Amino acid sequence: MKKTFNHLDFNQRQLISEGLMKNKTFTQIANEIGVSRTTVSREIKRNRIKTGSYFKDGKPMECIHFDTCTHIRCKGPHKCSEYVAHTCARREKYLVCHACRKQASCRYIKYHYSARKADVAYDKKLSDSRSGIRATSQEIAMMDDIVNNRITKNKQSPYHIYASNEHLMPVCLSTFYRYVNYGILETKHIHLPKAVRYKTRKKEKDYTPTDIAYKNGRTYADYKKHLALILPNDVVQMDTVLGKINEPQAILTLLFEKSDLLIGLKLENRNLLYVRQTLKRLCQYLGFEQYAKLFNILLTDNGKEFQNPSFIDMYDNLGERISTVFYCDPYASWQKAKIENCHRLVRRVIPKGFSLKPFCQDHISLMCNHINSLKREYLNGLSAYEAFVKQYGSDIADLLGLYPIPENEVCLNPILLK
């Protein structure tokens, strides 16, 4: 028969306390709570509490020579050669003084067992045993060498660093995060890219959507129905990233949902005409077949630069539509949450309010390649580039100008584009 070992709970400890008050033996108590006799005795001995008087006139009352002691100044029970502790046969047998009739007059050390205090001590010991630092100073130093400057300077995520050096890490991922949060490493919690304080969320506005002509048959509900009918290989989320408020430049961002791969295209002006020209050039460069394979379904928001689907949809030489755009509901950015989250990585390199004038397409492509080389936990440790290549092959990645960045050189800092 396989033995099972369970910890005592509060109810069992209460039964132990009640049994001691009723002068029951350890065997009787053990039978009531369903454990062995030794389990009861160990529990009592481990959690009993000393009570009563220990000293009088500076002398230990537990000593059998207390009444006849001639020492002017007591040396204490640990230093006095004449100290002999009183032995109580009942206390030695029951370990505690519950139900003892001589408690009121007894001058010796007494022990009592409290179920509540024993349960609190148990919880604390259990918590302490599962916390603290188990790594050695050498292992901490090695982790510092691995992490050094990669978060503070290159703005790499802790997961990317861990996934790139997992074979060297002496701890698991969650422990690595905990060491950073507790300040064990030189890199502190405040250095993490997402370690910010979020402002209190504003109350959501009550919004009743209205029918807009350009969205007929292209709403988010239509998009879900379309997906169910054709079961596409992938969906591309589309949006724009702005620079300074008064500048016309923007970045057209395209993100593949399955791999989280990001493509950024420089727009000299944030309007519908430039979006169309950019997508058309991309279609001509890739060819109708590849464009239809990659950008068959586009999902975007209701920005003014997207508000004419006939300008965004692409057609081949025979007039067949090879890509279709759909629109999220107003005030529902969560419907294209992946690209919104990816924009946070973009903002590490190009902070909000920075001008886009100094950047050309090569700068934007370099930034995207660094973002795409970041290891992702939800992709099972793969980067977006690796996941994209696994899905479409390296030839298409090369055609799009994509290439991997070495793990230790990934940088998501504004210095990347300087």
**pLDDT tens for each residue of 299-310:** 999 999 998 898
Cα gap 113→111, rounded to integer Å? 7
How large is the average pLDDT for residues 94-119?
83
The one-character DSSP state at 204 is: P
Cα–Cα distance, 374 to 164 (Å, whole number): 9
Tens digit of each residue's pLDDT (9 = 90 or more) over 273-301? 899 999 999 999 999 999 999 999 999 99
CA–CA dist 341, 39 (Å, integer): 54
pLDDT at 87: 74
Kindly state the average pLDDT of the residues 315-333. 91
Helix (H) or strand (E) holding 294: helix 288-294
134 vs 328: which has the higher pLDDT: 328
Q: What is the pLDDT of residues 16-45, one digit of tens each?
A: 989 988 888 899 999 999 899 999 999 999
Pairing of strands 262-267, 297-300: unpaired
When pLDDT is cut at 50, 70 and 90, the band that residue 323 belongs to is very high
Q: 332 to each of 68, 241, 251, 258, 300, how far by Cα in Å?
A: 88, 17, 21, 20, 11
pLDDT band at 208 (very low <50, low <70, confident <90, very high): very low
